[in-house]
Each structure stands twice: as structure tokens, then as C-alpha cells.
Amino acid sequence: MAAEATEVLAGGVANAGAVVLVGGRVRRPARPQTATVHALLRHVRDAGCTGVPEPLGVDADGHEWLGFVPGDVPVPPYPAWSRTDAALGSVAALLRRFHDATVGFRPPPGAVWDRELAGAAPGDVVGHFDVCLENVVFRHGRAVALIDFDFAAPGRRIADLASLAKRCVPVDAPEDAVRLFPDGGDPCTRLRVVADAYGLGPDRTALVDALGDQVADGGAFVRRRVEAGDPAFTSMWAGSGGQARYDRRADWFARQRDRLLDALH
């Protein structure tokens, strides 16, 4: 019997080259939290949100298996169709549907989460906390599914939405934003697109506050991996300008905060 064809799926940093498509299923490295995440994905799908992969189990070789979601996944530098306001709004709307579907989820006994991006604060939903365009499947320019739930964890809706905005608006100094978003739109306009599509109420100060908290983090997540000697993150850190890039973002955000807030209101 001929072996099933294997296709390496592009994208990612920590899992780059290790996520493959085999016979219509996705195989990727399992993590300590994989069983918990699979229980979450089953709950979300049972709640009517099909915008997440179907969990198929974990094999004896330490790989998780997921149903393949057909569509387009943008990788840097992001193509023009993925940078439109309509595409951005569809990502925020999808995140809202995912959040709503997690309400009522009861983690299995002995549940394990990676809370490095979610933080320790309790929340009202389970968030994705790693929504960038590379972790979204699109069809015809509209988001249809979120993928890569390694950092999913209980947390605050607004923090997860701010994480999405930081990466997908993007909230960044112009000289750094242009690397991934050439000819990107006005960040104030795009931040409002995110808030409107998610369905935030009229007082949106909390979104800007949450963005401020994440900008103040100053790239600590990546820096920890660089200090641990991770070659993939070391390469990304160097390629994006190192700590100076995060310092530029903090300076830009401090100068633009009031303008962002005004645009949201």
C-alpha cells in the first residue's frame, strides 16, 4: 500500500516545518495542554461554532491530529487581500463567535493550560491569545476558522481582542508595521473596525487600556525564548529589530493613545 502524501504547511515560528497535512488531516506536535485544548474544541463545535478545527486525537508518537480546514492562510509579507478592513472585521467577528461558544465550558479533570499569553487574571471566556493572520483560515477574503490553539486559556475577552488588534491592525510604529503590512491602513480606523465587528459597547476605553498593558510588556514573551536559546525566536527577534522594535512601539503608542481612544468613541 502506498504511503499517504505528506505536505508541510507553511507558517508558524515554534512549530515551523513540523505541521503537516497527511491524507486530509493535520498532524502537529502535541503539548502538555493538548488534551485540554481538544476538549475545548469539541465543546466549541458542539455549541455551533464551526470556526475551529475538529480534534481527532493524539497518537503514540506524540502528535496531535486535527481535521484540515480548507482555505487560505496568509504568511508574511501578508498579501493585499488579507490586509483589507473587511478581512480584519471578519477576524474580529470570528473571535466573538469563538468566545461566546466557550461560555459554559468545563475543563476535564487535570486540565492543563499554557497561560503565558493569557496571563493569570481570571476571565469570563476561554481565549485564543495568539490570533495573528497566520493563525486564521480565510475563504474569499473572509475569516472562517482560527487555528493553532497552543496558548488558548481562560482569560478576559478584552485582553484577547487587544492581542488580535495589536497584531492584525497592527498597533505598531509605522516603520515596523510596514514590514508585514505594506501600504497598511490608518491604525485608528482599523482599530475601530475591530471594535465594531466584535460588537463592543459604546465605552471602549478598556480596549485601549488592554492594548497599553500588552505594549508595556515590551516583547517579554519573545525575549524569554531568545534568552533560552530558541533558534526560531532568536532569528525572529533579530529580523524584527530586537528590543528597539518594542521600544519604538511603546513610544508610538504613548503618542497615539488619545487619538486611538478618540477614534473608538
Report the alpha-carbon distance of residue 57 to residue 123 in Å, rounded: 27
Report the alpha-carbon distance of residue 21 to residue 25 in Å, rounded: 6
pLDDT tens digit sequence for 26-41: 999 999 999 999 999 9
Inter-residue contact 71 to 53 (CB < 8 Å): no
Report the alpha-carbon distance of residue 121 to residue 213 in Å, rounded: 13
User: What pLDDT, on the 0 to 100 scale, is given for residue 233?
Assistant: 86
Inter-residue contact 51 to 94 (CB < 8 Å): yes
* CA distances (Å), origin 203, targets 180, 224, 264, 265: 30, 35, 8, 7
pLDDT tens digit sequence for 78-136: 999 999 999 999 999 999 999 999 999 999 999 999 999 998 888 889 999 999 999 99
Q: How confident is the model at residue 14 (pLDDT cuts 50, 70, 90)?
A: low
Report the alpha-carbon distance of residue 16 to residue 12 in Å, rounded: 5
How many alpha carbons fall within 13 Å on the CB side of residue 27? Answer: 16
Q: 54, 9, 10: which is closest to 149 by C-alpha? A: 54
Res. 1: pLDDT tops 50? no
Q: How confident is the model at residue 144 (pLDDT cuts 50, 70, 90)?
A: very high
Tell me if the pTM is above 0.75.
yes
Average pLDDT over every residue of 240-247? 91
Q: Which residues of 154-166 are buried (b: 16+ CB within 10 A; e: fewer)?
A: bbbbbbbbbbbbb
Report the alpha-carbon distance of residue 70 to residue 141 in Å, rounded: 13
CATH hierarchy code of domain 1-265: 1.10.510.10
Q: How confident is the model at residue 203 (pLDDT cuts 50, 70, 90)?
A: very high
C-alpha dihedral sign at 162, 164, 168, 172: positive
Report the alpha-carbon distance of residue 51 to residue 99 in Å, rounded: 11
User: What pLDDT, on the 0 to 100 scale, is given for residue 85?
Assistant: 97
